[in-house]
Amino acid sequence: MASLPLPLLDYQRYGRQMILDGFGLAGQVKLKQSSVVVVGAGGLGCPVLQYLAAAGVGTIGIIDDDIVELSNLQRQILHAESSLGVHKAESAAESISRINSSIHVDVIKSRLTPQNALEILSRYNIILDCTDNAPTRYLLSDVAVVLKKPLVSGAAQKYEGQLVIYSLGPDGPCYRCLFPKPPAPEAAGTCEETGILGAVTGIVGNLQALETIKLITGLHEMKPSMLLFSALGSPPFRSIKLRSRKADCAACGNQDFNLNMITETDYVQACGGPRPDWVQRGLASGNTGYRVNVKELKKILDEGRSVNLIDVRPSTEFGICQLGSAQGVPLHELVAKPEAYLPADHTIPTYILCRLGNDSQIAADALRSSRPNSEVWDVIGGLQAWSREIDPNFPIY
């Protein structure tokens, strides 16, 4: 008998997909000979890695310079409590190696930059974008254009997700074609700020893995489209046909676009600067006479003074935990009609709370504008500072 193209046990391991029409032995051999790189081992990257490893992709690169935190475990399914404090790339590699010990895994714990991206990503056949920030998305797209490799990109936030393969075939658009202007950093929310249902990242990540397998095995129709998913929508999936790449695109429409143009670009500044550090902004003391710290607030409350204490977090967050006698008034309601939330007695001071100490400043400004002679304070660092400095049993979420 002629030598087998796969180890004997692989026929049993992968048999359920090898018997599929259009897949066959040839498809499994292609998977074994292929190499993919997953940028980001978080909510999207974990299901991607799990299914690519299980399917038998021969070489998988994992790029992530972050470490595992407790808040990750709700959706990042390759990490466990025992992984806390471990680099995500290492934790994910260990998990998929337990799933399939025959694959080769490259662990890359350094951050992807314009200077190293081309050299690192050029080693792989397909690039997967499982990140959550605009500068990296533009960088990955530009590199994919130069390398002429498909970029399987996923995104997820709240109850929604989307999936696109950029640079698909000779005419498929790149990320810049669809989004030539990046959003302002303040408008690009993170999972920490907006929330995310873990199963949503699982669905989008699994779809990224599926599209990658289709590309490798030749099952893909190679028609550029954007798949939109809404967990609360009916139907939950909607597909949008994408136009061909734009002739005037700064990347894929530019015949002179090259490596030097990537290495000379500051992608963070090109996207409007660093993403705001809302925690540090909320801790800034600001102008004297406008903000109080949590120790000062505690002293005022302990003394039993008459105060108007307002919590401007969304009602859902207010329902998670509250501080004492605070009344919940969502920020948008307060700003729409600030005079309604000031006490009739002008001698009673108002103190504003929020999660981190940012929205409270907006609310306080609105109240002062409504009644300039009123005494309005907002709390530095918000309820997270209260938990950290006053009551460790107050929940942080």
Which residue in the list 46, 191, 271, 321 is annotated as catalytic? 191
Q: Is 132 annotated as a binding residue?
A: yes
396 vs 386: CA distance, rounded Å: 10
Query: Is 271 labeled as catalytic in the residue annotation?
Result: no
Q: How is residue 143 written in tokens?
A: 């590199």
Of 46, 130, 271, 354, catalytic: 354
Q: Which amino acid is at 53?
A: A
Residue with tokens 């100490």, as numbered in its chain: 357
Q: Is 271 labeled as ligand-binding?
A: no
The reply, when asked if residue 252 is annotated as ligand binding, is yes
Does 130 show up as a binding residue in the annotation? no
43 appears as a binding residue in the annotation:
yes
Rounded distance between C-alpha atoms, residue 321 and residue 38, angstroms: 37
Tell me how far CA of residue 125 lies from CA of 35, 130, 210, 344, in angstroms. 5, 16, 15, 68
225 exposure class (CB count in 10 Å sphere: 0-12, 13-18, 19+): middle
Q: Are 327 and 363 spatial neighbours (Cβ–Cβ below 8 Å)?
A: no
User: Measured in Å, how far apart are the chain's first and last C-alpha atoms?
Assistant: 62
Please state, in angstroms and as integers, the Cα–Cα distance from residue 41 to each residue in 60, 65, 158, 177, 178, following that order: 12, 9, 19, 26, 25
- Among all chains, which residue has been given the structure tokens 């103190």? 351
Q: Is 354 a catalytic residue?
A: yes
Residue 75 in marked binding region:
yes
Which residue ranges are tagged as binding site for Zn(2+)?
Answer: 174, 177, 249, 252
Which residue ranges are tagged as binding site for ATP?
Answer: 43, 64, 71-75, 88, 132-133
Residues annotated as catalytic are 191, 354
Which residue ranges are tagged as binding site?
Answer: 43, 64, 71-75, 88, 132-133, 174, 177, 249, 252
